[in-house]
Amino acid sequence: MKIKPEQLARTLTSSNLPLYWLAGDEPLLMQESADQIRQHYSELGYAEREIFHAEKGFNWEHFANATNNLSLFSQHKIIELRLSSAKLEATGKQAIQQYLADPNPEYLILISSPKLEAATINSNWFKQIEGSAVLVQIWPVNREDLSSWLERRLRREGIHADEDALILLSDKVEGNLLAAMQEIEKLKLLANNSEGASIHLDANTVMQVVADSSRYNVYHLVDAALLGEPTRSQKILNCLYHEGIYPLVVLGAITRELRALLPMLEKKQQGQGINAIVQSARVWFNRKQAVTHVLQRIGTDEIWQLLDHARLIDQSIKGMSRANPWDELSLLLLRLSGAETASMNLSA
């Protein structure tokens, strides 16, 4: 059974399945979902917990032995399996399947893992366990939804923020929900309001109080460029530079995306609709807006020009050119974003 995080409370009260699997890369939302499951089963008498960290080389016999043995201290317990990778080895798959074939009614298995790829979810072994388990896929909060998410969290704490404050706060904590919650707690303390009183938050207060805790990765960078957001893509590139990301990692993410766009653009030239193209390419739903946007405004010739520029950047990274790779990456992203650059004007 696949559910969304907002469906978790209802599923906990209406279902009695032996295994919950939380999959995602957003620490705060993963933590909150796990706490919700623990709290629910704690109230049902699951007083004991046993935790396994399944990293490379993990001995799955330990998990099998734990699930076969009766608890010494309580009738019910939660067995947590924390996976370092979403790609399980054969022994891990077998251990989970064997347990679900004859689950112990006194135990709940709680698995947490990084984001599951489509290939894993569609695999035969995963489909076999899906009928006996609950999969909660936890996605990061999109930039477009972040202001609404922050507004709900602030209201929960008695803080009412105006629109400018929400926009500024979103910009400062994007990609880092743990930092967002820390900043909300800081705002509560600084307000020092009386019990039950409402706090009003404006942009000036956010500017003075909230640190820039935004956290980005190369996927945020690529999507910002595809969405035609040159200013934001430059900000993310600057953050990655100061974090010490190797430029070849950034270039690799951009070139992979450019090559993936080529067959989609060919289908567009053949008369296929963009929605159908995105669907057939199996683009993740949280990236459909970015891919759809770039397909509407870019052509095959432009992609090949960008790939040629990427080849020159690769040479500069490897010391075969005197060009500064970060400057060139900045220019490449501006071009991909649709921004007009000086070199474009000169060539015109």
Provide the residue type at 101 as one letter.
A
Whether 344 maps to a domain, the answer reads no
Whether 235 maps to a domain, the answer reads yes
For residues 153 and 134, membership in a common domain is answered with: no
CA–CA gap between residue 186 and residue 39 (Å, rounded): 26
Of the residues 151, 186, 209, the one at which a domain ends: 209
For residues 226 and 308, membership in a common domain is answered with: yes
Task: State residue 335's pLDDT score.
Answer: 95
Q: What is the pLDDT of residues 275-285, one digit of tens each?
A: 999 988 888 77
For residues 122 and 190, membership in a common domain is answered with: no
Task: State residue 198's pLDDT score.
Answer: 67
For residues 53 and 168, membership in a common domain is answered with: no
Could you tell me which residues come within 8 angstroms of residue 300 by beta carbon, excluding any fewer than 6 positions away?
A: 262, 265, 266, 269
Largest CA distance in the chain: 78
Helix (H) or strand (E) holding 325: helix 325-337
Of the residues 118, 138, 158, the one at which a domain ends: 138
CA–CA gap between residue 157 and residue 190 (Å, rounded): 13
CA–CA gap between residue 348 and residue 339 (Å, rounded): 14
Task: State residue 347's pLDDT score.
Answer: 44
For residues 253 and 166, membership in a common domain is answered with: no
Task: State residue 66's pLDDT score.
Answer: 87
Domain residue limits at 187: 143-209
Q: What is the pLDDT of residues 128-148, one digit of tens each?
A: 888 899 999 998 888 888 999
For residues 12 and 133, membership in a common domain is answered with: yes
Number of independent structural domains in the chain: 3
Whether 346 maps to a domain, the answer reads no
Which parts of the chain register pLDDT below 70? 69-74, 190-198, 341-348
Task: State residue 182's pLDDT score.
Answer: 86
Q: Give the pair of three-digit tokens for residue 60.
A: 């799955």
Could you tell me which residues come within 8 angstroms of residue 339 by beta carbon, excluding any fewer than 6 positions away?
A: 230
Q: Give the pair of three-digit tokens for residue 271.
A: 């008369």
Task: State residue 348's pLDDT score.
Answer: 40
